[in-house]
Amino acid sequence: MVIVTGAAGFIGSCMVGKLNNKGYKDIVIVDDFSNPVKQVNIARKIYSGKVDRTRFFPWLAEHAGEVEFIFHIGARTNTTEFNMAVFDELNLNYSKQVWNACCEYGIPMIYASSAATYGDGSLGYDDMNDSLSNSLKPLNPYGISKNEFDIWALQQTKTPQRWYGLKFFNVFGPNEYHKGRMASVVFHAFNQADGRTGGQADGRTGGQADGRTGGKVRLFRSHSPAYRDGEQLRDFIYVKDVIDVLYFLMENKVQSGIYNLGTGKARTFLDLVNAVFSALNLPPTIEFIDTPADIRDKYQYFTEAKMGKLRAAGYTKPFYTLETAIAEYVQGYLVEGTCY
């Protein structure tokens, strides 16, 4: 039996789909299933059990002997939420309970960390130095909660038999319809380029969609002399690459620890938007707007994962290029509104 927490969400539901494609059917999905918009993500998935996150630990105490692996993907991911108590409950304390249960029952686990732990990137994006976590200064409570758990995990003398924390960079792909303004820039750019109603601005990702825009994509202009408008850089990674890596770590007994999960190649927002227009066979129309003053000093101009640690662990599969991934996502999912 394999457990996936956050199974109705974006990456979690894709992971369930990956496991199904690999022949796994004995999967227990864990989440808050009260959001009807997320039901489409699991509508066609095969699983053997469904457990509300508030009932997970009593359930696990009864079934621990059947569990082979836990993917702990569930988390509060809203970077505009500033109530630290919410993150303490869902991202920090809940994750500690998962960790301790895995220690007690001898279950290997993967948990979702985030590139948001790196803050403004001034200390780099290197996962080889575990002590770096103590010096990082994330820019919001979400990133703080993820970094605090990373630090806590690294301090533990009692650990699961195998454990992996994955610092996800800018993930995009199918099954993010429910995320609203927290959806990827690709999702919002598609909605704008296609003339659909999108979400709201997200200063941390650089994209904005605030209703029907008639085929025009809005991007935040640069307020740094080091970058031209639209040439801010991010490490964008397709969700299918993410779940491939998660599956690899489940199947291969590599060294436990914290690993970056990006492509290792930063691309500009202009690259991304042009790829969206190309996938729609439309000429690009882009408008630059000011980054809101209240988040301007927290804006990341560059992120790029150092991927040597994962490669050294034996992961050799190439990552999707940005253009190939966006074409598949737009044409294979977004145009028809389908899920993975």
Q: Which residues are catalytic?
A: 142, 179
Angstrom distance (rounded) from CA 275 to CA 325: 9
Angstrom distance (rounded) from CA 296 to CA 164: 33
Beta strand spans in 179-323 (E): 207-208, 217-220, 233-234, 236-238, 257-261, 267-268, 286-289
Taking the mean position of all CA atoms in its chain, how far away is CA 96?
Answer: 20
Token pair, residue 270, equals: 């202009």
Burial 96-129 (b: 16+ CB within 10 A, else e): eebbebbbeeebbbbbbbbbbbbbbeeeebebee
C-alpha distances (whole Å) from 209 to each of 22, 191, 224, 228 are 36, 7, 23, 21
C-alpha distances (whole Å) from 302 to each of 188, 213, 274, 287, 327 are 20, 27, 19, 21, 24
| Angle, vertex CA 142, rays to CA 89 and CA 211, nearest 5 | 115
Angstrom distance (rounded) from CA 304 to CA 123: 12
Angstrom distance (rounded) from CA 186 to CA 13: 19
Three-state SS annotation for 35-64: CHHHHHHHCCCCCCEEEEHHHHHHHHHHHH
Q: 3-class DSSP state for residue 287?
A: strand
